[in-house]
Every structure is written in C-alpha cells, then in structure tokens.
Structure 1
Amino acid sequence: MKLLAILFLCSRLLTSFTQEDQPQEIDCNDEDVFKAVDAALKKHNDGSKSGNQFVLYRITEVTKTGDQEIFYSVKYEIKEGDCPVQSGKTWQDCDYKEAEQAATGACMATIEKIPNVEFSVATQTCNITSAKGPVVTSQYDCYGCLHPIRTVPPDFDPVLRHGIEHFNNHTGHSHLFALKEVKRAQRQVVSGWNYEVTYLIQQTSCSKENFKFLTRHCKALANGVTDECTDLAYVDPQLRIASFSQKCQILSGEDFTMGCPGCPIEIPANSPNLKDALTHSITNLNAENNATFYFKIDIVHRATSQVVAGMKYFIEFTARETTCSKESNKELTESCEINKHGEMLRCTADVYVVPWENKIESTVKCQSPGKKPLRPCMYKARPREAGAEPTSENMAS
C-alpha cells in the first residue's frame, strides 16, 4: 500500500522538448488559469460533506506545460466562506467569513485542459488551517490519468536500469553506455503501470570486450557518443516488467552524422558546442535591439546542428532583460543578473560557423510575448456572477 501511495503521488514530465512543452510561467490573470483554478476549487469543495465552502483568495504561482496535452500547475490560497457545502451555491456566490472565525488554506493542483471537456483535475493537495485548530491536509488523485513527474522517483530505477541494459545488449556499439540525464517521463496507473521515459545515455570508457556490465570504473567519455532513448514499459502488479520497447537515436559524438550526413541533428541544449553560437547570438540581439537594458539568454529550449561547409546551428531560446543598462555598461557581462520582472523575448537564431576561417555569422529573430510582469492575482469574494473573471492585485481592495 505504501508503494501504491508513492506511485499515485508522483507527477509526469512532459513528452516533448520543444518550448511549448517546457514549463512556462504565465500571468495568473489568464482566462484559462481562472477556469483551471475554478475546477480545482470546486473539486475541493465537492469533497466536503459538511461545513462551509472555501472561496478563492489569490493565485500565487502558475506554470503551463504542453501543446497538444496542456497542464496547468497552480498554487492558490483560499479562505472559508459563509455558504454551507450543501447550499447548492458555487464559491463565487459566497462571501468570506469574519477573519477570526475563518479557516484558511493553501493548495497545489495539476489541472489538464481537455478539448471539449473543459478542465480535469489530475492531482490536488490542500493544507487547511482552521481558525483555532491544527493544519489538516486533503488530497485528490485521479487514478488512471497521466500524471506529470517532476523528478524521477525511486521506483523508476528498475525501468531505467532495464532500458540501459537492453541498449548495451542489443546494439553494435563497441563500448558500454551509462545514464547521463532523464529528460522527461510519464506514468499511467492501469492494472499495473504504463511508463514512458526519455533519457540520454553516454558512451563510457568500458569496452564490451573487457566489461560485460557497467561498473563504478566505467567513466563517461567527454567526447563520446550520446544517444537519446525513449522506452515504453508495462509493469504488472507484481512489479515485473511485462512488456518493453525501445527507440534510440544518436545525438552527438564522432559518428553523430551516421544516419543522414548533412541533415540537421537534434543536439542537447547544454551542449558545449553551442557556447560560441549562443554568445554571438545574444551579442547580435543586443546590438540590434534598442532596449535600455541588455538581454541575456535564460533558457535554451531546442537546438540542431548541420554539417555544411562548416557547421550550421539552429537554436530556440528565451532571453530576458537584465539589470545592466547600456548607458552604464559597455557590454553584457556575466555579472549582469536577469530581471525576473523585466521583458522576456522568445527568439530563434541561425548561426553559421567556419572554425578554420574564424568566421561566425548569426541571424536572430525575437518576439515579445507581450505579457505584463507577473504578480499574484487577488480576488474579492463574490467578484461577479458565476463564471466571474479574475481581478488583478492592483485593482483589488
């Protein structure tokens, strides 16, 4: 039972490496955010058989993941209202109880936006503090749903270990490979568990001729081949891997162009080969941008490399405004810190590098999401009729 509880509590990483599938912090005044929180709060209130409904106080944090499958991860605060749970009213129709008599709560929820089905609450945990009592935790889990996994739990180890052993035993590489990084994963509770996990493995110093299995002596080679693998596994209720499939592709290393010489190849966003290309791209952006402050690359979302007469890189990244003004600083330096409340740009860069000619050229295109700096969204009790819209903090009393 304890193992089942751990499994049900875990959440899922997204199944793509594009910007759209990376967690994006978004403005809590977004209409869909309000609808997602509305669904979560109603789910919480519906779980109570007595007492009063809780009313939304404010949303403190929101991230959005996915493109086809959209998930909202939200943190929000609630206060006890004056409407009994059996009154038939929605929380929008309620007012707050007197502060000294009202319970308060802090909730974290994951809500999926399903086309034509509105919003479905996948997981939710609320810590409720009564007016004169201890904290009580309530939890909701949607069994059978796909859950985002932010970190890989211990029970994933057998699946990963099986995947790496399968790769080492069924590929023609001369050396053994070891786990480098888990990029994304998902799990579904069925009669057992369905797993999908994507990860990077890197060539080690251990040749198959001398080593049958990975040992602590097997060290990753800095210039070795890196492969990306996606494994599908079904683990039955007896915790046995009952079915398994694997698909891998070479990302980097001396033979990374084997599949299609001259074709664009996906490379890791943290690849050291991108350093000069990124430096040139942000320098180019700052030179062409008339902003008062320098911009700095915050996140690299995706990158490809292509062998031409030299090397061509295509990079997608997010740049954020820093605290360094162009008036006071001659150039962008490492000491320039990102201003989290400053402007954000979504950019793409085409970079052409010819190392033997010391030549590098870049074309950078950026677009501003046009969002205001993020802040908690405050809500009045009974803001409007059912279906009310959020109110920004500076407009709330």
Structure 2
Amino acid sequence: MKADVLGLLLALTGLFHAGSHGQEDAGLPCSDKTVEDVVHLVLLLHNKDLSEGGQLALYQILEASKAQNDSGDVISVRFTGRETDCPAGGDKVWDQCDYLQDPAKVAYRPPCLGCPINIDIHSEDIKEPLSYSLLKANIMHNHPHFFILNTIYQATRQVIAGFRYQLKFDMQKSNCTKSDFKEVTEECHPDQEAPSFINCNSTVDVAPWRLELPETHVQCAPGPIQVSPLSFMFKRPPGCKAMPTPWKVFQPVFRGPPPPPSNKTEIGLGAAEPSG
C-alpha cells in the first residue's frame, strides 16, 4: 500500500436492521458514540481481509447520518483512513498503531465542526474545568483524605451550547484529611508513606455568559493513570506543595523545552457544589 493512499476515502452504510422505505436522513455529530463504533467495526473488518501492507486507521470522520425504516435504524458514515505501521495480519488493532509518515506530503485535514479537538494541556483554557474536576472528584471520592493532582494526560474542547471540556488525569492521596481540612491548602502534599492514586475522566460544560457554575461530571477508578513512555503530560514535581487553587498545585514538567511561565491568576470557585 503506497503513501499516496493516506487520504483514501472509505464510504460506509451500516445497516443495523435491513429494510426499505427509509425516512429522510438526520445528521449525526462526528463524535457520536454510535458513529465511532461503526467506524471501528468497519476498519476491523477491512484490516482482517488485508494480506499485505499496513493496516488502515481512522484519519477523519467527514459526515454521518441516521435514517429510520420499518425495521430499525440505518447509520451512514463517510470517513478517511491512513496507512499505519502495523502490518496486515498482525496482533495489534488499528487504534493501537501509528500513522506512516510521508515527509514529502502534508495532508490537509478539514475540520469537523462540533467534534472535540485536542488542546494543549498547559493551556490557560483548562484552568477552570480542571479546578472544578478536582473539586468534584474529591467530593465524590469516599476517602478520609483529600486527593491532589498528580498528572494531566489529555484535554479536549468541543463547541456545543458553550464549551465542553473533557480531561483525563490522575490524583494522589495527600496528607490532608477531610476531618482536619475543609479544602486543599498549601499544607497538603502527596502522602509518600502510604501512596494511593485514582485516575479520572471528567466532562465539564462551560457557558460563561450564563453566570452559572459549570456542569461537571467525573468518573474515577483506583490506581494511577496508565500511559506510554512517550506520553506528554503535566506532572507535580516531588515536594511541590499544594495551593488553595487546584490549578496551582503543580508546575509543568515536559520531556522537552519547558513552556513559558503561566499566568497564575486565581480562579474563584465559590462555595456551591458544581451541578452534575
């Protein structure tokens, strides 16, 4: 498979139930879970039939729609794929592979309006959603100690009726107990004697013009976040003390040149618990 098929267009009509007399198609967001599941299945089937070259991986979901007929739903998805470094017939699934690089070509990737986009994890944009995520995680986590930020692994932003932020991070148990402290303060630092971690995914909907607290949803599981050795993240340096504002409990550490100093303007969280 040559490099010039990096922009190969795959067209799919996924029929969950066969039937006729379909109604008019209704557009689906590119990030819809059903759309992603259909694309995943099509690529699995496509790569299973390959006998040479590299597997294809998703590059861009262009459009998706859903129609209904007498038997059920008809999902149609149009997307592009790129060749990866995973050989045909290998053990890896396409989403575990990396794109083949072609330095002679730079492919144009048209934007998918309404899709989540990755944002820099040291961006000022994630200060507010991160703060509410840490606060909500501590409220939900039934543990006698406060947990403080350990690492941020990933952040995305999506345009909805406002902005939707999705964050992936982990937290470490601190020395501060909830019975002795009302909130995380500068006295709170990681408990090195009995370390304990939780890893979390949060979704925070922000609409500043509504003058309302962001709607925050957090799901956490035991243990630190699992990342590859080449991952790029924010991490608390050892011995760094926690500050009252959750954003300030860590300083950025990168595998590469450090970013410029961030603006340390504090965020007022208020006394109310975020909804969600």
TM-score category, normalised to shorter length: 0.3 to 0.5
Bigger CA radius of gyration: 1
Higher strand share: 1
